[in-house]
Structure 1
Amino acid sequence: MEIVENTLDVKVDAFLDQPLFCFFAQQSDDGPRLSPLWFLWEEEIIWNVARLSGRSYPDRVSQYPQTAIAIVDFDSSTGRVEHVGMRGQAVLKPYDEDRAERLFQKYLGEEKSEWPEMFVEFDTDDYRLIKFEPETVVARDQSYPTQ
């Protein structure tokens, strides 16, 4: 992974540990597509949980593995605009319950008994993980002063 630019005040790992959305962008037969997804950043890899039925982006991963990801943290009251953009390859992997649980904990909290049922009781055969390996990373602080 090559970090092309980094002007963030925090380490990229710390930025990516926040419960932000990643915008998962791919080519398709009908033109570009974008999917906002929860993600887990582990060992310089982005992981997403992908439902197979009723979703088109898992099929695009197989057809068009070249992917771009954007993650933005924005607060208009303070003028904070921080962005990490990545380009790399995505691939579908078997569902890994432990990794998926770590991803869900990032967004839903440590206590699984307090999670909405849809994240606890589901058919894991209908799910995969998307493994995205960034080739290049741009991390920018584009914040602005507020009055």
Structure 2
Amino acid sequence: MIDEFLARPLTARVATEGPTIRPTWYLWEDGAFWILSGPWSRLPSLVRSRPRVVVAVDVCELETGVVVQVLARGDAEVRPFDVARGRRKLVRYLGSDEGRWDPRFREYLHGDVGAVWVYLRPSRLVMKDLSYST
């Protein structure tokens, strides 16, 4: 059930020590979060200095009463960017027609912008269903 929920193109929030919290798109693959980042963000340097992070992904659908949250925590790491995974992540949120994407997203795949992955294989992963009847 966690895999199905995290396969949806939702927005996660990742928190680093400090605390610093930021919304982010993510890719959930092989039991891990892959978050595209780079020199335009402080996230990679924060993770390098203090790798402990928390990621929250949730939905609250007032029309249906669906309220679900996934909380993950663990030590993240910065990994080299690979285009194939980057494409899978961006297609998930933007669709398969790259020609319709904002140019900065195409640049992640085809340019030399210093993109990296912030990778988290959670040491703790919890899903809570707080849904209610409407």
TM-score (norm 2): 0.92
Q: 1:95 touches 1:124 (CA, 8 Å); kept in 2?
A: no
Q: Deviations over 1:52-99 (max 9, x none)?
A: 13x212111101111111000111111110100011111111111111
Q: 2:38 touches 2:113 (CA, 8 Å); kept in 1?
A: no
SS of residue matched to 1:121: helix
User: Of 54, 62, 87, which aligns to 1:68?
Assistant: 54
Counterpart-to-counterpart distance in 2, 1:24 and 1:119: 20
117-126 or 100-109, larger mean C-alpha shift:
117-126
Q: 2:34 touches 2:120 (CA, 8 Å); kept in 1?
A: yes
What residue is the counterpart of 1:37 in the other structure? Answer: 24
What residue is the counterpart of 1:18 in the other structure? Answer: 8
User: Of 21, 24, 34, which aligns to 1:47?
Assistant: 34
Q: 2:26 touches 2:35 (CA, 8 Å); kept in 1?
A: yes
Counterpart-to-counterpart distance in 1, 2:112 and 2:37: 10
- Measured after TM superposition, the shift of residue 145 of structure 1 is 2.0
Q: Percent identity?
A: 30
Q: 1:68 touches 1:85 (CA, 8 Å); kept in 2?
A: yes
For structure 2, the residue ranges without an aligned partner over 5 or more in a row are none
Counterpart-to-counterpart distance in 2, 1:134 and 1:121: 29
**Root-mean-square deviation over aligned CA pairs:** 1.3
1:144/1:36 Cα in 2 relative to 1: closer, same or farther (>3 Å)? same
Q: 2:16 touches 2:54 (CA, 8 Å); kept in 1?
A: yes
What residue is the counterpart of 1:3 in the other structure? Answer: none
Structure 2 counterpart of 1:144, which letter?
Answer: Y
Moved over 2 A (4+): 121-126
TM-score (norm 1): 0.84
- Measured after TM superposition, the shift of residue 119 of structure 1 is 0.8
The answer to whether structure 1 residue 140 and structure 2 residue 128 are counterparts is: yes
What is the count of residue pairs matched by the alignment? 132
The answer to whether structure 1 residue 109 and structure 2 residue 81 are counterparts is: no
- Measured after TM superposition, the shift of residue 51 of structure 1 is 2.3
Greater RCO between the two (CA within 8 Å, min separation 6)? Answer: 1
